[in-house]
Amino acid sequence: MSVTDIAAASLTDSIRTVRGTEPLVQSLTNTVTINDVANVILHWGGLPVMADSPGDAGEMAALSSALLINTGQIPEDRVEAMHEAGRNANERDIPVILDPVGVGSTPSREAVAESLLSEIEFTAIKGNYGEIAALTGVEAEVKGVESVGDYEDIERTASSLAESTDALVVASGVDDVVADADGAVRLAAGHEMLGEVVGTGCMLGATVATFCAALENPHEAAVHGTLAFGLAGERAGEMDHTGPGSYRTNFRDAVADMTADTAAEFDLEDQLEPVL
């Protein structure tokens, strides 16, 4: 199955399964967004656990339904824990999701990402346009952890990374792109205020991990997790807000309220477009 075969109509089934499964999602993430990541997993219906020290991280990963590795901060002991948890998850066929935060901005971050990709098998890789381009070796401009510049060929870039890593790739931007080695889809869902709140990229990675934890088909998990996240962003924009702070609260409420019935209210015909 390719990502281009995923039907938007089955989004409701995916959300219902995630909420009915209540999967345990282990996350090694950065301290800037750890609370947001934990809460978004919980609001989707998952159970978050944030063990990130050597020993504990690997033991917890072995008990989880999915593992999220976020490289927003890379002290030596945390990187050691990332590798340990990733190996344990691979040994037990537990989905592992990589969020290579800031890769392309410093040699240290590039080295960590390369070491993880060389030693761990990832089910999905979620990054912004610049991070995905940097992992593929395409010229990219990343300032700190933010993607800047133009990425007109991001669909083919994402598909190329999927082919070289054998992972599904989620490239987040104005429109999100989900790709595998055979094709890509563009998701026209979301809200401009998502870009005004620190941590929404990390929360998207956590969302993909939660859906991967609950759904047997990783293609459905990547597409439907990304689509559901965007729809929650749209719903948050419809609620009263006066700026990024109130929008952030609205977004968390919108995720918690995104049930199968809520998702069925959206007209998805034009929001899921195969582009490769």
Beta strands in 149-215 (DSSP E): 168-172, 176-180, 183-187
230 is in an annotated binding site: no
50 is in an annotated binding site: yes
203 is in an annotated binding site: no
Residue 137 falls in which region: left (phi positive, over 0), alpha (psi -120 to 50) or beta:
left
CA separation, residue 82 to residues 14, 52, 61, 98 (Å): 28, 8, 10, 10
CA separation, residue 80 to residues 16, 20, 30, 64, 244 (Å): 36, 33, 14, 19, 35
Gap between the terminal Cα atoms of the chain:
14
Q: Is 167:97 a contact under the CB 8 Å cutoff?
A: no
Collect all residues with Cβ–Cβ distance below 8 Å to 7 and sequence separation of at least 6: none
What residues are designated binding site? 50, 126, 172, 199
What residues are designated binding site for ATP? 126, 172
What residues are designated binding site for substrate? 50, 199
